[in-house]
Amino acid sequence: MIESRSRRSVLKGLAGVSALAALPPGLARAGAPRVIRPQPAEAQLVGPSYPKTAVWGYDGLIPGPTLRLRQGERLDVRLENGLPQPTTLHWHGLRLPNAMDGVPGVTQAAVEPGGSFDYAFEAPDAGTFWYHSHANSAEQGARGLAGPLIVEEATPTAGTLRVDREETWLLDDWRLTKEARIAEPMASMMDLSHGGRIGNTVTLNGVIPEAWPVTAGERVRLRLLNAANARFFALRFEAHAPWVVAVDGQPCTPFLAENGRVLLPPAGRLDLVVDLTGRPGARFEVVDDAYPRDAYRLLDIAYADEAPLRASALPAPMALPANPLAEPDLGSAETIAIVLEGGAMGGMGEATLGGKTMGLRALAERGKVWALNGVVAGDGEHPLLGELRLGRSYRLVIENRTAFPHPMHLHGHHYKLIARDGAPEIRGIWHDTVIAWPDGTVEVAFVADNPGDWLFHCHIPEHMMAGMTGMFRVG
């Protein structure tokens, strides 16, 4: 890995020399990285009768620009920090070289305002991924910094998964004041110790959605992405039965969503195949009932009046081609127990912070309320949870002793869901972010095949900041 990277930079150097010597400027720029610039901007998040909202967006956009590449292709991005505080780019779900992972203090120094950092990696897996900051991520996420990263299948999907078109829905939520300003403080003790910063305004691709225009008979691939800090989404498609064809970017054997309802934790992605089987002119609701007492209509599925695209129903979608993930060997896998503790109504009597054992009250005074295996991460720290042998299989048994669900994310790898509360999960679904439900146990397994220091944390940034993060060293 190191060898090929240094060879690449030698080649890059040579290309630079020849470009300067011989090529016209247009050609010299051909190999230049795509610049991504997080910066303050304004966005019309709520209706035109409200003022615009001051946000932070990649290239000033909410959501950030969609980055698209083909599986196996290389992505070159230069981060130019236009924010008033340090930032990084993290490529969520990508199994990339550790140095490109964008974790300040672990894989790189945070990029200061006005500074830049070059990211370059090849995308090993096709699927739906995203990018976001890993610096001060509670605030930077809540102000809007997120964008989709789509890796297209190396082989055209025709013949494997035929759809008429595809769409990406980046779901986000915002906590706004009545004047449509982003409400402060960014991370209150209430948010840190409860369910995180849940907003009061939900947007789809940066606007409050009204209708999803569709044509009868068409088959659409919907790439859903939850970029909210803390909100879970559970979308119920009235009178429709979406197929789930990929979870967190990784293809699965297609299955029908139960009751037409799909659950999306913070950072989660789902690729759906939706057959638009309604009649021309019909309207149906998509309802989000993740919090049943606060269920609301996200949008209407709005059928055009035109004649159906096809006369008869399509057969079940075929599976997308699998990505090259190593299958964990459960027989020889080493088990690592992970206990989640803390938070309001939690059962954490005391825990260790910086090697010092403290009671809950002393921890709370330091803004720390969550622990992984009795260890509370200090500011900017990710305590070592274990050293893993390269190529070896591991089983994480994650026990949630808190009163809140936690979307637990592992960097640089995907893990396979193998059991919940002791009962085997037979679908064999890969996740990079798996929900640990309160008072429950979730088991995942993976091969530690990517060398480096990889974070394992709750993806609710308020929980991560307040202690719920750690790191595995693979080597």
Q: By CB under 5 A, is residue 245 in contact with Cu ion?
A: no
Nearer to Cu ion, 251 or 343 (CB): 343
HEC sequence for 79-136: EECCCCCCECCEEECCCCCHHHCCCECCCECCECCCCEEEEEEECCCCEEEEEECCCC
Nearer to Cu ion, 228 or 458 (CB): 458
Contact partner, 382, from Cu ion, ligand C2O, none, Cβ < 5-8 Å per class: none
Q: Which of residues 379-438 bind Cu ion (CB under 5 A)?
A: 406
* Shortest CB 137 distance to ligand C2O, Å: 8
Interacting residue ranges for ligand C2O, rule: CB under 6 A: 90, 92, 132, 134, 267, 409, 411, 455, 457, 459
Closest-by-Cβ residue to ligand C2O is 92
Q: Peptide bond preceding 63: is omega within 30 degrees of 0, i.e. cis?
A: yes
Q: Helix, strand or coil for residue 140?
A: helix
* Shortest CB 464 distance to Cu ion, Å: 7
* Shortest CB 225 distance to ligand C2O, Å: 11
Q: By CB under 5 A, is residue 460 in contact with Cu ion?
A: yes
CB atoms within 10 A of CB 133: 29
Q: Which residues contact 334 (CB under 8 A, 6 or more apart)?
A: 392, 393, 394, 395
- Are 288 and 298 within 8 A, CB to CB? yes
Contact partner, 406, from ligand C2O, Cu ion, none, Cβ < 5-8 Å per class: Cu ion
Nearer to Cu ion, 395 or 406 (CB): 406
Q: By CB under 5 A, is residue 455 in contact with Cu ion?
A: no
Nearer to ligand C2O, 268 or 342 (CB): 268
Give me the half-sphere count of Cα atoms (radius 13 Å) on the Cβ side of residue 216. 15
Nearer to ligand C2O, 93 or 317 (CB): 93
Contact partner, 236, from ligand C2O, Cu ion, none, Cβ < 5-8 Å per class: none
Nearer to Cu ion, 221 or 406 (CB): 406
* Shortest CB 470 distance to ligand C2O, Å: 11
* Shortest CB 458 distance to Cu ion, Å: 3
Nearer to Cu ion, 209 or 438 (CB): 438
CA-closest candidate to residue 91, choices 113, 115, 64: 64
Q: Helix, strand or coil for residue 150?
A: strand
* Shortest CB 162 distance to ligand C2O, Å: 31
Contact partner, 175, from ligand C2O, Cu ion, none, Cβ < 5-8 Å per class: none
- Are 144 and 56 within 8 A, CB to CB? yes
Nearer to ligand C2O, 413 or 459 (CB): 459
User: Could you tell me the CA-to-CA distances from 241 to 224, 233, 244, 252, 289 in Å, in that order?
Assistant: 15, 17, 10, 17, 16
* Shortest CB 400 distance to Cu ion, Å: 9
Contact partner, 395, from ligand C2O, Cu ion, none, Cβ < 5-8 Å per class: none
Place of tokens 């896998």: 333
Q: By CB under 5 A, is residue 458 in contact with Cu ion?
A: yes
Q: By CB under 5 A, is residue 466 in contact with Cu ion?
A: no
Rounded distance, CA 34 to CA 457, Å?
29
User: Could you tell me the CA-to-CA distances from 107 to 75, 104, 136, 454, 472 in Å, in that order?
Assistant: 18, 6, 15, 9, 13
Nearer to ligand C2O, 219 or 411 (CB): 411
Cα angle value 172/178/181 (rounded, 5°)? 55
The residue within the footprint of Cu ion, chosen from 267, 434, 463, 466 (CB under 5 A), is 463
DSSP structural state of residue 427: S
Segment (H or E) for 146:
strand 146-152
Size of the site for Cu ion (CB under 5 A): 4
- Taking 3-state DSSP, the helix, strand and coil percentages for the chain, each rounded to the nearest 5, stand at 10, 40, 45
* Shortest CB 446 distance to Cu ion, Å: 20
Rounded distance, CA 188 to CA 172, Å?
19
Nearer to ligand C2O, 132 or 401 (CB): 132
Q: Helix, strand or coil for residue 153?
A: coil
* Shortest CB 267 distance to ligand C2O, Å: 5
Residues binding Cu ion (CB under 5 A): 406, 458, 460, 463
